[in-house]
């Protein structure tokens, strides 16, 4: 059976310290073989774009992290939500483009449904054409749900561009389809630990 190769960057190992296994220990903790594949789509009346080509799957997990932990592999462009009983839900994600990738440990400190978006000053300097604020809704870049990571500018959020899932396209945020972020939003609580690995 093929195994996924998840490795921790040196910086992530230093940040995460005792809570993270060494890079060699992170290899082979997930199997490719889906236990349950969930390519379900929301109905057209819900107002969300359809699922991307990256299906949501339940996979086997034999790593050290407790149920409820979120692990993100920016190399794989996958997010794992750890379940009880040696399983995890695997979602496709979009990650930071070159120069905007990061790794480390964060905590979900806030959650929002159909969040408004205020581009940070750093982004406005790069893109002065952006609006200063956008109300929440289907056209908002944060999509259907957002989970805010500590005091950072980073979020796990939905996207109105499902075709970007599986790509390195963001300014460091973790993008999901609106379907998948809504599913994760219902599972993850404020206080959930999020470990981002390269």
Active site residues: 157, 173
For residue 15, CA distances in Å to 20, 42, 74, 147, 154 come to 9, 38, 16, 21, 17
Angstrom distance (rounded) from CA 91 to CA 56: 5
Angstrom distance (rounded) from CA 164 to CA 160: 9
Distance between alpha carbon 29 and the CA centroid of its chain, in Å? Answer: 18
For residue 177, CA distances in Å to 31, 146, 191 come to 23, 11, 22
Distance between alpha carbon 78 and the CA centroid of its chain, in Å? Answer: 7
């Amino acid at each position: 059976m093929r195994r996924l190769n998840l490795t921790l960057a040196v910086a992530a190992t230093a940040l995460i310290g005792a809570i993270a296994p060494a890079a060699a220990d992170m290899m082979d903790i997930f199997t490719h073989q889906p236990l349950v594949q969930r390519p379900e789509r929301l109905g057209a009346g819900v107002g969300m774009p359809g699922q991307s080509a990256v299906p949501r799957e339940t996979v086997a997990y034999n790593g050290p992290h407790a149920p409820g932990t979120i692990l993100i592999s920016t190399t794989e462009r996958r997010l794992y939500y750890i379940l009880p009983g040696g399983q995890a839900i695997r979602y496709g994600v979009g990650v930071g483009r070159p120069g905007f990738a990061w790794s480390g440990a964060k905590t979900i400190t806030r959650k929002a449904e159909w969040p408004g978006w205020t581009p940070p000053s750093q982004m406005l300097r790069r893109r002065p054409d952006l609006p200063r604020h956008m109300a929440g809704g289907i056209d908002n870049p944060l999509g259907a749900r957002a989970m805010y990571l500590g005091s950072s500018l980073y979020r796990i959020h939905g996207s109105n561009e499902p075709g970007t899932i599986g790509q390195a396209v963001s300014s460091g945020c973790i993008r999901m389809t609106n379907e998948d972020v809504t599913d994760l939003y219902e599972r993850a609580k404020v206080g959930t630990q999020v470990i981002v690995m390269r």
